[in-house]
Amino acid sequence: MLRCRINTYRERPRPVTGFKKAGVKHLMLFSGRAYPELTAEVAELMGVEIVPTRAISYANSEIYVRFEESVRGSDAFVVQSHAAPVNEWIMEQLIMVDALKRASAKRITVVAPFYPYARQDKKHRGREPISARLVADLFKTAGANRLMSVDLHAAQIQGFFDGPVDHLWALPVLSDYIVGKYDTSEMTVVSPDAGRVRLADMWSDRLKTRLAIIHKRRDPDVANQVAVHEVVGEVQGRVCLLVDDMIDTAGTICQAAEALKARGAKGVIAAATHPVLSGPAVERLKATGFEEIIVTNTLPIPPERRFHPLTVLSIAPLIARAIREVFEDGSVTSLFDGQS
């Protein structure tokens, strides 16, 4: 017997509004299976329906997709969050884009809140791939006309895609929460390593706080081990806000928090856009003693990986507004005017 996993998205029936007229734009929203709850939230905020989709994963892991209504001439937005297993959800989104292209969608926008393979954005040594560029090429080859993502790990990824890229920032969402809950006059924004200094600088400008940087270097007395964390900036007696674009295994951010506590920080908060939370991340974060860890829902967090003091803010309103601006040929940049 053929074994397969079938997911069918069936929203409430669409109201009958008559035939679609030639030349009249119409928006259609599609959801992958990685995180349909996020797409459903976006759809509700926009007042649109998710297009019913039949998606099947066969026993040999091949994927089949069919949209259950006409997409001809549509302005299509395909939302997929790339959580583990990342490769499966990339392939599903590529197949969805290909199906839309072959069904005569007029414009196809890939909405990837967490861009897959973003950390492989350059060659560090010979014979290495640039996988972030490969992903962009795959989306373009499949038929995508536009790409939308939140807080790319590296800004140059915008240049990998041969077409418009809408780079959304979660900084306003996260910082507004911080301002509403904490006294920022006693706060220092901290970059957990040298690679995140520009991000920390943006946070510091927005919150009007002091800035500190943690520099990791190898202990000269211990081979092959990063053991020394030099803190540049004032942290003693202050609440320190560690900022990053993602928390994966949480090793870097937890080591940074310990270094700040050792240098007299009154408390440590963490804020990051993407909660990857791989492997030992949850145990490490719980053991480190953060005052609060604030993330967005660009990726799904299953109930068993939610913990105190984790706070999850919704990115759906930002995505919904950006999709609306793109559909109406407006300005996505205007969403962030005065925010930097």
Q: Which one is catalytic: 216, 261, 266, 286?
A: 216
Bridge-based pairing of strands 187-191 and 107-112 is unpaired
Q: Cβ distance 4 to 58 under 8 Å?
A: yes
Write the DSSP string, 176-234: HHHHHHS-GGGEEEEESSGGGHHHHHHHHHHHT-EEEEEEEEE-TTSTT-EEEEEEES-
Pull the structure tokens for residue 69.
Answer: 């209504």
- In the sheet where 53-58 sits, what is the strand order? 4-9, 53-58, 63-67
**CA–CA dist 203, 198 (Å, integer):** 9
Here the tokens at position 93 are: 């989104």
Are 156 and 273 contacting, i.e. CB atoms less than 8 angstroms apart? Answer: no
User: Cα 274 to chain center, whole Å?
Assistant: 5
Q: Report how far apart, in Å, the C-alpha atoms of 308 and of each of 14, 163, 251, 260, 294 are.
A: 40, 41, 18, 21, 11
Measured in degrees and rounded to the nearest 5, phi and psi for residue 150 equal: -115, 130
| Cis bond upstream, residue 309 (ω within 30) | yes
72 alpha-carbon distance from chain centroid:
29
CB 264 within 8 A of CB 236: yes
Half-sphere exposure of 264 (CA within 13 A, CB side): 6
State the Cα angle at 122 between 119 and 124, rounded to 5°: 100
122 is known as an active-site residue: no
Supply the residues annotated as catalytic.
216
